[in-house]
Amino acid sequence: MDLKQLEPIIESVLKNHQLSLYSLKTKKEFGEHILEILVDGDDLSSDHLGIVNTEISEALSDDLFDPDYFLEVSSPGAERPIRNEQEVEKAIGIYVHIETPELNSDGYLLDFKAGIITFQINLKGRLKKVEIPYTTVKSMRLAIKF
């Protein structure tokens, strides 16, 4: 099964639902082969994703989609990774978790300009702005604030 051939068909269905493709891969869980489609957008309810799953299933022909695979359409989750500079820009104003060699903390991503992330953390009840070069970030993800 060639994912490159499936991708434009899947993206076409997603576009009709105001969703974008976050990730497309095959995996094996509990002995079953799965085509995992992670999507992003405003409406990620299970009802909506069920409709999208059905439409993608109908759009994929048997010669492109291996019938031995199960189709799984879901969201990347509430604490999804922030994978690139474009996603950093989208996350401005959002609560995130950042790991660098010097920092491992949750806080608000305030700005991203010229390769520098402005990050606000709470240190013992005091808010502090920290500037972090993007190149030093080991990992970054959305975070849930309790």
- Statement: residue 103 has pLDDT above 90: yes
DSSP states of 48-65? HHHHHHHHHHHHS-TTTS
Segment 67-82, tens digit of pLDDT: 889 999 999 999 999 9
Q: Where in the chain is CATH 3.30.300.70? A: 3-74
**Widest CA span of the chain, in angstroms?**
60
pLDDT at 56: 95
Predicted confidence band of residue 62 (pLDDT cuts 50, 70, 90) = confident
Instruction: Please name the fold of domain 3-74.
Output: GMP Synthetase; Chain A, domain 3 (3.30.300)
When pLDDT is cut at 50, 70 and 90, the band that residue 133 belongs to is very high
Three-class DSSP category at 3? helix
Domain 85-142 fold: SH3 type barrels. (2.30.30)
